[in-house]
Amino acid sequence: MPLVPFLKMFGRLLLVAVIILAFSAGLFSGLNAVRERDWKERFATPLMDWLAVAPHPQVTYPWLDRLYGLTIRPADESTLSDIAEERLSYGQVIASTEGLGVRLRRLTNDGAIIDVTLRDLYRDVCEATALLVLTHLNGSPLQERPAIMSNLSESLEVSVAPVTDDSERIDPATLERLVERGLAFVQLDKNASARVYLRLADGAVVQVGMPSPFQPLAWSVILLVFLVAATIAGFFLYLLLRGVDRNLRSVESVAVRIARGELHARVDTRRGGLVRRLGHSFNSMADQIQRLVEVQREMIHAVSHELRTPVARIRFGVQMIEDCATDEAREKQLAGIDNDIQELDELIDEILTYARLEQGGPIMSLREANVADLVRQVVEEQQKLAPEMSIEAEFVGDSDTWGLSDVEPRYIHRAVQNLVGNARRYANSTVRVRCQFDTQTCRVDVEDDGPGIPESDWEKVFTAFARLDDSRTRTSGGYGLGLSIVRRILYWHGGQAFVGRSRALGGAAFSLVWPRRHEGAPAPAE
């Protein structure tokens, strides 16, 4: 069953695909988890560094405690791990997920720990940074604001710039929030950088441009995951193809052995997955080659034997001509030589026909023809050759209605003619051609009332140059190729020829069965 190895291979590929997808998803998720934690710490570092060096940040920036729950506790009250404490000692920010928020911790210059929990890290850090800018700008003289803005931009790693009518127009909704709160957070897209507008005490508007938020679909991560997935897929593909290559090498070795003359060599098809189908096809081809070689060998032996008799008679006749004393005797010898030449020509024609059918077959040009008419034609021809016998055609049911079939008329005529001719030679008095045609198949049975054929020889009669009675003369026995030709003609029509015993007449019964309609060119499997 060719579907089974295909399903097995498809199942393996599907399993490999699922493994690769699961691994890729896990790798992508893990990389993003590490990247996101690193981004949180780097994003919050400028703000936390500013607070770490500020004297009394809870007093200087009272809104921090009110809005974000800022606390400062001694370092010895920390429950952090040794690695986290070591990172704190290096001045790094520690970010950890706490419930629905993110908890940030950083060591101050005097050894305390700043601890703040933010619900929305990106928005809260943006707004807290903007409030720091607002606090420092509100308490600064107007002429010093450009320098303070520059210092704040550098320290907090943001861009701080005044907003004028010429630089940017603020939409009404943002302007309304700005008037009500003094601060407006604007982010046009969740993947775009945010801007925070501040309204100073003197009415001036300042814009704070923030860094980009975390990008989970970074090209570097996608490329890395793709390369890892491609490597895994390549490894599994290598394992699969290695097995295919090994099986192909076994097929190759068998082909080499056959080329050396070891026609019995065959591919082991007990294992091999999809290559098993190739092995079966290769073995079928090897069987066909071996059969053709054996047929050719048998034909050479048989032909050499069959040609000896007419050639010997011709040679004998030529010698006899030299001894003929009268014209009448000479004419008799010439007539015998002519008959021998005719017999030799017929034998060669039979051999060529059988060889053409056996070794690849003719180029069948199937067309619609009336098989019933072909049968009637054969019966009429054979009846003229033996008027003393009863040769008749019988059509069962409405077979005449379904007589049209896709056939090669010349070869079907030849097949029926060979069977009726054989039956005529061995019948006592009656030959019957029984036809059964329906929508699917055509069947022609040729029966006679002769001695019949022993069941042990039913298959032998279809062998080339086979004769059941070696004592028979050429006149009664033919050349031993007629039934072989019949079987090959039916083979190339996608049908079968077989022999049995006639229940009605008691003699032999030969049957031809083939499909009434063909789709495309006939290429049946033997």
Mean pLDDT by 10 residues, the chain (526 residues): 61 82 88 89 90 79 79 76 85 86 87 87 90 87 88 91 74 82 85 89 88 87 88 84 80 85 80 71 84 73 66 75 74 76 73 66 73 89 87 84 84 88 88 88 90 81 62 48 80 85 86 81 40
- Predicted pLDDT at 159: 92
Left (φ > 0), alpha (ψ -120 to 50) or beta: where does 395 sit?
Answer: beta
Provide Rg for the chain, Cα atoms. 50
- Which pTM value belongs to this model? 0.50
- Predicted pLDDT at 526: 40
Query: How much of the chain is in helix, strand and coil states, percent to nearest 5?
Result: 55, 15, 30
| Alpha-carbon span 457 to 250, nearest angstrom | 40
What DSSP character marks residue 455?
Answer: G
| Alpha-carbon span 57 to 76, nearest angstrom | 20
| Alpha-carbon span 461 to 423, nearest angstrom | 13
| Alpha-carbon span 13 to 300, nearest angstrom | 52
Tokens 């006939």 belong to 522
- β pairing state of 195-199 and 183-186: antiparallel
**SS3 label, residue 119:** coil
Side-chain-facing half-sphere of 183: CA atoms under 13 Å: 16
CA nearest neighbour of 448 among 500, 396, 497, 509: 509
- Predicted pLDDT at 363: 57
Q: What are the DSSP calls for 159-174, one per residue? A: EEEEE-TTT-PPPHHH
Tokens 């441009």 belong to 209
Tally the residues of the chain.
526
**Distance between terminal CA atoms of the chain?**
17
Q: Please, are residues 37 and 302 in contact by the beta-carbon 8 Å criterion?
A: no
